[in-house]
Amino acid sequence: MSDTGTELARLVVALDDGYAAYDQEQALLAEVGARFELRPCRRNEGKALEAVRDADVVLVRESPVSRAAIEAMTHCKAIIRYGIGVDNIDQAAASERRIMVANVPDYGTDEVSSHAVALALAVSRRLWLHDREVRAGRWSTGVLQPMFRLRGRTLGLVGFGRIARMTLEKFAGFGFGRVLVHDPRADLPEGVERVDMDTLCAASDVISLHAPLNDHTRHMLDARRVALMKPTAIVINTARGGLVDTDALYEALAARRILGAGLDVFEQEPPGIHKLFSLDNVVVTNHMGWYSEEAMRDLQRKTAEEAARVLRGETPLNWLNRW
């Protein structure tokens, strides 16, 4: 190893705060002679540009790591995402500079899949609507809005990675008559049908999105495909907000052309006071499907371990922009 002073000059910068503690990052990076520094940017591109200049490794959650920020880096070796999606990182610019981009795809699988099921049930059983009624002192055993049992109906999964597979496992007890998957490359278990996106939209009663966001998947649920959906359709999105044309979804929900939606993610985050929030057939949460105390600790540890690998001269386990 080099002398201690040289080693400790190596710097790992985190661009987003929000975790309760950073003891794992500090300890794991100290083991490879690096210091950890938190430089919160709060999604501000200009602040991110300044924060990354002297970093050997950059850790990021939501803040944009743009081409300009990457070009400002003087000696960065890797950008590592606290999480799965990397649509806030300019991978092409990073590749040009030979800066590795990595993520942590194997955390929170149990949590996000549970959240997808919870949203589907909350919409299906109209929990928000009935909760509101009881809190307001209204008590009625009459029908406020139609509800339909899930048994015998059709589940559609868009993408079939770790989270989608566990979502299917958790939905298994509800007795869906058919399970459709849109994922050209995934190996499917027996009894699951591979279909194109249009077929899935037209046939499914619950449509759960589990695809990454990229140029090919942005607005994959557009106005045309929303128009294909059944009146009993429920849209669940725990993946990325940009997969859905929000305006098209809003129009269908407002007109009651589909039954409802459960959304943990939005095209713009935070979304502000969105017109969707005025509808009583939508359940929304604040991109927290990934969260449990265990998942948060797992994510921080795995992110720091990837940074330590890079500083040891190794390649990340989940290196995305390989050259």
- Given a cut of 70, whether residue 8 has pLDDT beyond it is no
In this structure, how many other beta carbons lie within 10 angstroms of the beta carbon of residue 275?
11
The per-residue pLDDT for range 21-36, each reduced to its tens digit, is: 999 999 999 999 999 9
- Given a cut of 60, whether residue 184 has pLDDT beyond it is yes
- Given a cut of 90, whether residue 165 has pLDDT beyond it is yes
- Read off the pLDDT of each residue in 132-138 and give the average, rounded to a whole number: 93
- Give me the domains of the chain, ranges plus CATH numbers: 4-107+293-311 (3.40.50.720), 109-284 (3.40.50.720)
- Read off the pLDDT of each residue in 69-90 and give the average, rounded to a whole number: 96
Per-residue confidence (pLDDT) for residue 153, from 0 to 100:
98
CA angle 69, 215, 165 (to 5 degrees): 105
- Given a cut of 70, whether residue 96 has pLDDT beyond it is yes
Q: What is the pTM of this model?
A: 0.88
Q: What string of DSSP letters covers 68-115?
A: HHHHH-SS--EEEESSS--TTB-HHHHHHTT-EEE---SSSHHHHHHH
- Given a cut of 80, whether residue 9 has pLDDT beyond it is no
Token digits of residue 307: 């940074």
- Given a cut of 60, whether residue 2 has pLDDT beyond it is no
Per-residue confidence (pLDDT) for residue 313, from 0 to 100:
97
The per-residue pLDDT for range 185-209, each reduced to its tens digit, is: 999 999 999 999 999 999 999 999 9
- Given a cut of 90, whether residue 141 has pLDDT beyond it is no
Q: Does residue 243 contact residue 217 with C-beta atoms inside 8 Å?
A: yes
One-letter amino acid at 96 equals E
- Given a cut of 80, whether residue 67 has pLDDT beyond it is yes
Per-residue confidence (pLDDT) for residue 138, from 0 to 100:
92
Token digits of residue 250: 């809003």
Confidence of residue 1 (pLDDT cuts 50, 70, 90): very low
Mean pLDDT for all residues in the chain = 95
CA–CA distance from 235 to each of 29, 97, 98, 122 (Å)? Answer: 42, 40, 39, 12
Per-residue confidence (pLDDT) for residue 147, from 0 to 100:
94
Per-residue confidence (pLDDT) for residue 7, from 0 to 100:
47
- Given a cut of 60, whether residue 4 has pLDDT beyond it is no
- Given a cut of 60, whether residue 6 has pLDDT beyond it is no
Q: Does residue 235 contact residue 258 with C-beta atoms inside 8 Å?
A: yes
Per-residue confidence (pLDDT) for residue 169, from 0 to 100:
98
* Positions marked active-site: 240, 269, 287
CA–CA distance from 58 to each of 27, 90, 136 (Å)? Answer: 17, 13, 48
Distance between CA atoms of residues 231 and 216, nearest Å: 27
